[in-house]
């Protein structure tokens, strides 16, 4: 078994049944520009603490999977440009070669589950890409087999959202709309596509996770939160920027693990950085909802 490095505070919280929220690191290394990446990662940790939970940012540092990072480790992920983007297939390579890697939603779920963490906050999950090339994020595959609650703003709008929801259905992942009856599309509040159920409180969301556990299911529960109204980008503006970014990606032959960072970066430039502002705001909101849900889950578990 690979040994995880767990920060003492996180180990104690897990042992005592206190709420813990996992955070990914690809958003730091590949998702947001410097210095917004470091500021946002730090602010997410603070937001989680403010709402009564312990943050656990996850990454591979010098070949060691780490649950909880020091300030200087976060800074390394935010500054260095040779950080490997780690999904499941990359973890054995990064560990064997002593590399430092940022974990995607997929790899973060794997490591969080190994550590016994039950709630994870991120921006937008990966999904089925548009276009003829068969590019399906391994985020979807891992959502099928780790019993976490994953708080997100839906899937990135650069994706094929109807196909993404179909795959989630096939894999048996319940999709909750947190205060909404439609699936949020990252920097727009609604994709217009229906969710499986609406929850209005953290306790309601936690109750669905508890039923999932009682049924013995291993699927994640996806808790989707629309981004705050004041930073949302309207569907037409976002749609135009996405079309343009997709066209450029195609012309330049951007593929594989590079496509998501490329599209997010171009959409940000094309929206005059409205998408960066939206991204930061939704990440903080998701951190808060995750902390509240982790607390609700901890209370429910203590109550029997
Ligand atoms: N959403 C964002 N920023 C990101 C990502 C998603 O707003 O940086 C990252 C997540 O880590 C997600 C990954 O797991 O992109 C998906 O990459 P891919 O499509 O290559 O599986
Ligand atoms: Mn992919």
User: Distance (Å, rounded) from C-alpha 75 to C-alpha 73?
Assistant: 5
Q: Give CA–CA dist 26/58, Å, rounded.
A: 9
At 170, is the pLDDT very low, low, confident or very high (cuts 50, 70, 90)?
Answer: very high
- The model scores a pTM over 0.95: yes
Q: Is the pLDDT of residue 169 over 70?
A: yes
Nearest CA to ligand 1 atom 10: 104
24 in active site: yes
- pLDDT above 80 for 2: no
Q: Determine if ligand 1 sits within 6 Å of the CB of residue 154.
A: no
Helices 274-302/36-50 angle, 10° precision: 30
Distance CA 60, CA 85 (A): 10
pLDDT for 304: 58
Mutate which of 31, 134, 220 for ligand 1? The one with the most ligand atoms within 8 Å of its CB, which is: 31
DSSP sequence for 22-61: EE-SHIIIIIS-TTHHHHHHHHHHHHHHHTT-EEEEEEEE
Which ligand is the nearest neighbour of the Cα of 77?
1
Q: Which domains does the chain show, CATH number per domain?
A: 5-302 (3.40.1790.10)
What Rg, from alpha-carbon coordinates, does the chain have? 18
Dihedral over Cα of 249, 153, 217, 66: its sign: positive
Question: Where is mean pLDDT largest: 70-74, 237-241, 268-272?
Answer: 70-74
Residue 9 confidence (pLDDT) above 70:
yes
CA of 300 to the centre of ligand 1 (A): 31
**Atom 3 of ligand 1 has which residue's CA nearest to it?**
31
Pocket-testing residue among 86, 134, 139, ligand 1, by greatest number of atoms within 8 A of Cβ: 139
Active-site annotation holds for 156: yes
Mean pLDDT of 153-166: 94
**Ligand 1: residue whose CA is nearest its atom 21:** 137
- What is the chain's mean pLDDT, rounded? 96
Pick the residue with more confidence: 27 or 1? Answer: 27
Q: Which of 119, 190, 124, 194 has the alpha carbon at shortest distance from 154?
A: 124
Instruction: Give residue 265 CA to ligand 1 midpoint distance, Å.
Output: 12
Residue 1 has pLDDT above 70, yes or no: no
- The pLDDT value given to residue 221: 98
- Give pLDDT tens digits for 49-63: 999 999 999 999 999
DSSP, residue by residue, 208-237:
HHHHHHHTT----EEEE-PPPGGGPPPHHH
The pLDDT assigned to 57 comes to 99
Are 58 and 103 in contact by the 8 Å Cβ rule? The answer is: yes
For the Cβ of 260 lying below 6 angstroms from any atom of ligand 1, the answer is yes
Q: Report the pLDDT value the prediction gives residue 6, as an integer from 0 to 100.
A: 98
Average pLDDT over residues 13-33: 97
- pLDDT for the residue 156: 84
Distance 255 CA to ligand 2 centre (A): 8
CA–centroid distance, 104 to ligand 2, in Å, is 11
Give the DSSP H/E element, type plus range, for residue 84: strand 84-86
Atom 18 of ligand 1: nearest residue by CA position: 137
Task: Render 159-206 in DSSP notation, one character per residue.
Answer: B-HHHHHHHHHHHT--EEEES-SB--BTTBS--S-B-SEEE-SHHHHH
d(CA 11, CA 292): 20
Whether pLDDT at 271 is above 70: yes
Cβ–Cβ < 8 Å for 141, 214: no
Q: Which atom of ligand 1 is nearest to the CA of 129?
A: 19
What confidence tens digit (pLDDT) does each residue in 91-100 have?
Answer: 999 999 999 9
Distance from the alpha carbon of residue 138 to the mean position of ligand 2, in angstroms? 7
* Tally of CB atoms within 10 A around 96: 9
CA-CA distance, 256 to 135, in Å (whole number)? 7
Report whether pLDDT(158) > 80: yes
> Rounded CA gap, 132 and 126, in Å?
17
DSSP 148: -
Residue 302, pLDDT score: 86
For ligand 2, an ion, list residues with CB under 5 A.
Answer: 135
Question: Which of 72, 40, 46 lies closest to 59 in space, CA to CA?
Answer: 72
Cβ of 123 closer than 6 Å to ligand 1, yes or no, is yes
Indicate the DSSP class of residue 272.
T
Does the structure show a pLDDT above 90 at 273? yes
pLDDT digits (tens, 9 = 90+) for 99-146: 999 999 999 999 999 999 999 999 999 999 998 778 999 999 999 999
């Amino acid at each position: 078994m690979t040994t995880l490095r767990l920060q003492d505070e996180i180990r104690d919280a897990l042992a005592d049944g206190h709420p813990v929220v996992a955070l990914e690191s690809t958003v730091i290394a590949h998702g947001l520009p410097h210095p917004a990446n470091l500021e946002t990662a730090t602010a997410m940790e603070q937001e989680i603490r403010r709402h009564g939970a312990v943050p656990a940012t996850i990454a591979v540092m010098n070949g060691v999977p780490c649950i909880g990072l020091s300030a200087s480790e976060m800074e390394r992920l935010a500054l260095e440009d040779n950080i490997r983007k780690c999904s499941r297939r990359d973890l054995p390579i990064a560990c064997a070669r002593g590399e430092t890697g940022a974990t995607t939603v997929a790899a973060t779920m794997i490591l969080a589950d190994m550590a016994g963490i039950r709630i994870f906050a991120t921006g937008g999950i990966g999904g089925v890409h548009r276009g003829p090339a068969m590019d399906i994020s391994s985020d979807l595959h891992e959502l099928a087999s780790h019993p976490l609650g994953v708080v997100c703003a839906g899937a990135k709008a650069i994706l094929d959202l109807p196909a993404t929801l179909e795959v989630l259905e096939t894999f048996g992942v319940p999709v909750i709309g947190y205060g909404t009856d439609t699936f949020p599309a990252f920097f727009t509040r609604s994709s217009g596509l229906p969710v499986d159920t609406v929850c209005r409180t953290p306790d309601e969301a936690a109750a669905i996770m508890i039923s999932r556990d009682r049924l013995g299911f291993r699927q994640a529960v996806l808790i989707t939160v629309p981004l705050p109204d004041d930073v949302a980008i309207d569907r037409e503006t976002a749609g135009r920027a996405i079309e343009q970014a997709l066209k450029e990606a195609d012309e330049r032959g951007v593929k594989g693990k590079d496509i998501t960072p490329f599209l997010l970066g171009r959409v940000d430039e094309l929206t005059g950085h409205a998408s960066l502002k939206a991204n930061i705001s939704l990440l903080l909101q998701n951190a808060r909802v995750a902390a509240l849900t982790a607390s609700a889950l901890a209370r429910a578990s203590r109550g029997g």
